[in-house]
Amino acid sequence: MANTQQMANAIRALAMDAVQQANSGHPGAPMGMADMAVALWGDHLQHNPKNPGWANRDRFVLSNGHASMLIYSVLHLTGYDLSIGDLKNFRQLHSKTAGHPEVGITPGVETTTGPLGQGITNAVGMALAEKMLAAEFNQPGHAIVNHHTYVFLGDGCLMEGISHEAVALAGAWKLNKLIALYDDNGISIDGKVAPWFIDNTPQRFAACGWNVIDAVDGHDAAAISKAIASAKHSADKPTLIVCKTAIGKGSPNRAGTSKAHGEPLGAEEIKLTREALGWSHEPFKIPKEVYADWDAKAAGKAREAEWNKTFAAYKAAFPAQAKEFVRRMKGELPKNFNQVAFDAVVAAHTKAETVASRKASQLALEAFTAALPEMLGGSADLTGSNLTNTKSTPAFRVDLAGDVVKTEGQVGRHINYGVREFGMAAIMNGVALHGGYIPYGGTFLTFSDYSRNAIRMAALMKQRVVHVFTHDSIGLGEDGPTHQSIEHVASLRLIPGLDVWRPADTAETTVAWAVALQNAHRPSALCLSRQNLAYAPKADLGDISRGGYVLAEPSEVGMTKTHGVIIATGSEVQLALAAQKLLAERKIGVRVVSMPSTNVFDRQSVEYKQSVLPAGLPRVAVEMGSTDGWWKYGCAAVVGIDTYGESAPAPVLFKHFGFTAENVADTVHAALLKA
């Protein structure tokens, strides 16, 4: 019979030893949650250390990611590819054991956590994906999608506002296979939380439609295991298990204090803790019998083998569905995707419609959502403005019993997130991490500020998540500066690994969607207009996907010589084309470059970039936003806006802020005179 106390003490010892060796980290939370880990990982978690990517594994999320030595210890002890040497290398350069858990770096880590509140929200996304995939693929007698999502979280996660958004949605969606274990230790960095965190957490979760198991002894592995077993029987509600713990459990002088939270215990206190725990082993030394109690390799192999039999039977009975499930869990696009994208782009080019780019996005989505059943859309209460819904994506709903409602036999694929931009973005990250769906969601561009950290996390984790941001400039008009985006496009372009698109017409918008869907390891943001944009005639569609291309040469307006270049994005491309004509009347020839994505353009070869922006030709950029980012292209001038907007009809604002063809032409002319 396993010695659960020694199993927990192994986590405590590894946590304090690794933090001490690194002289950096958080030993208290892993020591306090050690018994919780024993209960979950020892008795319940469905996983296979030798195949961390097994499709039907349970997902475990450490939302309080500063407690990273807990998950690193458990992964090592249960048999994942994480050696004792990796633990000794905690928080060091290029190690598998970074300061906070990182997906793709450490085998067995499901999501990158650290920014508090996002882990629980990612877990909601994972549980949502599980519920939807089960409704879509499972057949009577063939449950190939049947797993739980578990999350550990602490007071910090619950204080963050995003947790309110996520918890509410989990209750509304009746995610009964989501089980959260709350490390209720009452301590944060600043000390006892009671003076500033007085929420009645159990009542809050209950009010949001959760099942709550309160006041469980967080240092009694048997009691915790019993609570988890009870939670697994919930048919229509997610479950919160409140585990009363002491941070730094086992430390004679630090347990229950903020001193255990974010600093090494110190050599003397570690010695005293070893004595108090009855753990006489040297640092990083784990007895064979403890390894044996923790070892999950054989059980994991057996679990996966049993599922493989289940899937084999499913495949025999439903071969097409089985093939589709495998494709989608691998994240592969349908074989006909390139043809679908080509046809959609050509159709946009041929029709040459004058529509807002938000409408152009919806037109593209009609084609892509019909061809890609894995596309899962949504909006933060702005569906009619963001235009993220299509004929192929009815609303996602669950009934009173918690079952997914099907429309004409299909699971709904458009989510009403409510006014929860941050929660939407982080839930989409969880959906993408789980696999099986490509999530996209919409809001106004100015509200990207709310969701920015989740956007950053998608880029850090290299997840295919698409953000649809509409109302991209002062062009939205009368709503005024609170809603008019000025710095937002420029600031989003600064996020490493995020592709930001600001397309000028239907063809560019369709290409932006195609590239975003093809980028399996990169999120995208599409910044779209409210106002209608005329189609910009173009001879070649192939270079749009390069992020920047030559749209119009001087010869197209009767000039034989090129004196300069106008670079424009989005709605301002039309200004550039109109200015090109005005300049031709002054015997000045300019090339117009449309640059829907600076991020993508900057990744092109030097030769290509020079072919688009030749050396020696003065350049002027035009964009209704912050000017700072354009100077890197060697611009002689930028027609932009570095102040907040005003409340007035869009045409009035354009004239007021200088976004007219005449002003662009004058700016180019002045720049050429100075050159």
Catalytic (active-site) positions? 421
Residue 258 annotated in ligand binding: no
CA distance 467 to 555: 38
Residue 155 annotated in ligand binding: yes
Residue 191 annotated in ligand binding: no
**If DSSP codes are grouped into helix, strand and coil, which group holds residue 579?**
helix
| Contact indicator for 167, 205 with CB cutoff of 8 Å | yes
Buried b (16+ CB within 10 A) or exposed e, 622-661: bbbbbbebbeebebbbbbbbeeebeeeebeebbeebebbb
**If DSSP codes are grouped into helix, strand and coil, which group holds residue 414?**
strand
Residue 233 annotated in ligand binding: no
If phi > 0 it is left, if psi is from -120 to 50 it is alpha, else beta; for residue 517 that is alpha
Tokens of 628: 């700072």
CA distance 307 to 57: 10
Residue 499 annotated in ligand binding: no
Tokens of 499: 């592709």
Who's near 652: CB < 8 A, 6+ residues apart? none
Amino acid at site 119? G
If phi > 0 it is left, if psi is from -120 to 50 it is alpha, else beta; for residue 209 that is left
Residue 32 annotated in ligand binding: no
| Contact indicator for 364, 372 with CB cutoff of 8 Å | no
Residue 94 annotated in ligand binding: no
Residue 669 annotated in ligand binding: no
Who's near 97: CB < 8 A, 6+ residues apart? 18, 68, 69, 72, 82, 86, 87, 89, 90, 91, 106
| Contact indicator for 618, 517 with CB cutoff of 8 Å | no
606: part of which helix (H) or strand (E)? helix 606-612
Tokens of 29: 């939370």
Residue 26 annotated in ligand binding: yes
Residue 447 annotated in ligand binding: yes
Who's near 553: CB < 8 A, 6+ residues apart? 562, 591
CA distance 120 to 178: 10
Tokens of 341: 């994208």
CA distance 368 to 348: 13
Number of H-type helices and E-type strands within the chain: 25, 22
Residue 115 annotated in ligand binding: yes
Who's near 655: CB < 8 A, 6+ residues apart? none
Residue 114 annotated in ligand binding: yes
Report the DSSP pairing between strands 524-527 and 466-470: parallel
CA distance 225 to 234: 15
CA distance 28 to 264: 9
Residue 185 annotated in ligand binding: yes
Binding residues: 26, 66, 114-116, 155-156, 185, 187, 261, 358, 385, 447, 471, 479, 483, 530
Binding residues for Mg(2+): 155, 185, 187
Binding residues for thiamine diphosphate: 66, 114-116, 156, 185, 261, 447
Binding residues for substrate: 26, 261, 358, 385, 471, 479, 483, 530
